[in-house]
Amino acid sequence: MFLSTNPSLPASKSTSVSATETRITTKTLSARQVAVCLYWSRGAALVFFTPALASCSGVQSALDPGGVEATQIATLFWVMTAGGFLIWAFVVAVALYASRWKSRPISEENAGRFIFWGGVVFPVTVLTALLTYALWLMPWLRPFGAEEGTGVRVEIVGSQFWWHVVYRRPDGSIVISANEIRLPVGERVEFSLESADMIHSFWIPALGGKMDMIPGRTNRLSLLATRAGTYRGQCAEFCGISHAYMAFPAIAMEPANFEAWLDQRSQPSHDLDVNSGGFALFMREGCGTCHRVDGTAAQGAQPVGIAAGRTPAGVAGPDLSHVGSRLTIGAALLDNDEETLARFIAHSASIKPGSQMPAYPGLAPDELREIAAWLKGLQ
């Protein structure tokens, strides 16, 4: 980039050499130009590294891994970052050397050699090494086969803008949930990913890479959590106006706790009260048409607005069987308490634009409170 034919060479000298001996010199940068280059390099580094460093921790950080797959991805990231920095430092050093200290001309042959080694051999070697390393990681991201049929399998269906979750246990029993995913630490979990309407993408950055959810297709993803904790997953493919509100808590639990949790969730909520006024209102307003509550007449319905049979879940809204015990409502949109539940029922259209759930602004405040209290009681 700093090589150029020197226009200041005397004409007599230029004409006196043969074509192969045409003189090429390095163009000297002034001290001010070098300072400007360094200033902008530092600015660019700040712009790129500040957000990167700020995202090094947190429940949704790929750089704060809590699983095997995420650790491999984080390692790849740091290797590439370090490699990029070393190459950048090398190029800057060469540029400084050429511009500040080596100002004498070099022959065209040497310039060609420099371009061949620095511009062809070096990048090809580095990129091949990086590609090999990245490809070597890929099969590790999807170790299926041997593990199949041994652990719990989780089927997830993405819909605008929520997650239908089915745990399929080795004994064949299932547990249905929504908008929250739990998995055991130290055990590989296979996810089956489908979509009910459009392309979504399932991604828990702290546990592994992302995988698209495509209508009419089942994609698989395998994750192994290594650290118990509450992480955050997020739809990573633009899927409509509330795409950003399509998230979920992902909770990695000790295996014994996870099994106990599944046992509890395979039964109707122990606090279920079908004689309460809240449940009567829930049914009167037709909530049971879309939402299932285990142990009640509310069993959801065939898909609304979706070709029948396309939705493996066969339900139009999130399962609410134990909704009171979830960390969030509205797919990680709001904290889960009676006030937010009532607010979501009354104003779902404005809280979560584009969702299929109709708002119920006409419900009296005490009716809203009663439904919300009943739902919160589903522990």
CB 278 within 8 A of CB 371: yes
- For residue 237, the minimal CB distance to ligand CUA (Å) is 5
Amino acid present at 167: Y
Binding to ligand CUA in span 132-171, by CB under 6 A: 158, 161
Nearer to ligand CUA, 243 or 292 (CB): 243
* CB nearer ligand CUA, residue 67 or residue 158: 158
User: Per the structure block, which two tokens stand in for 113?
Assistant: 């050699």
Encoding tokens for residue 21? 């001996």
Nearer residue to ligand CUA within complex by CB, 182 or 243: 243
Q: Name the minimum Å distance from CB 236 to ligand CUA.
A: 7
Tokens of 96: 């400084």
- Stated as kind and residue range, the H or E segment containing 232 is strand 229-234
State the number of binding residues for ligand CUA (CB under 6 A). 9
**Residue 349 CB, nearest approach to ligand CUA (Å):** 18
**119-121-127-128 Cα dihedral, nearest 10 degrees:** 160
In the complex, minimum distance from the CB of residue 168 to ligand CUA, in angstroms, rounded to a whole number = 23
The answer to whether 34 touches 100, Cβ cutoff 8 Å, is: yes
State which residue, 145 or 216, has the beta carbon closest to ligand CUA: 216
Tokens of 115: 């371009």
Nearest approach, Cβ of residue 199 and ligand CUA (Å) = 8
Q: Smallest distance, Å, CB 266 to ligand CUA?
A: 28
Restricting to residues 47-76, name those near ligand CUA by CB under 6 A: none
* CB within 8 Å of 47: residues ≥ 6 apart: none
Q: Please, which residue, 78 or 238, has the CB nearer to ligand CUA?
A: 238
Is 235 or 341 the residue whose CB approaches ligand CUA more closely? Answer: 235
In the Cβ-directed half-sphere of 155, how many Cα atoms lie within 13 Å?
15
Q: Give me 353's structure tokens.
A: 């634009």
Nearer to ligand CUA, 69 or 237 (CB): 237
DSSP, collapsed to helix, strand or coil, labels residue 80 as helix
Residue 220: how many other CB atoms lie within 10 Å: 13
Nearer to ligand CUA, 246 or 253 (CB): 246
**d(Cα 84, Cα 74) in Å, to the nearest integer?**
15
- Residues 177/258, Cβ–Cβ less than 8 Å: no
**Binding marks (x or -) toward ligand CUA, 207..246, rule CB under 6 A?**
----------------------------x-xxx---x--x
Quote the distance between the C-alpha of residue 356 and its chain's center.
Answer: 24
Site string for ligand CUA, 191-210 (x = CB under 6 A): ---------x----------
Q: How far is the CB of 200 from ligand CUA (least distance, A)?
A: 3
Site for ligand CUA contains 352 (CB under 6 A): no
Residues contributing to the site for ligand CUA (CB under 6 A): 158, 161, 200, 235, 237-239, 243, 246
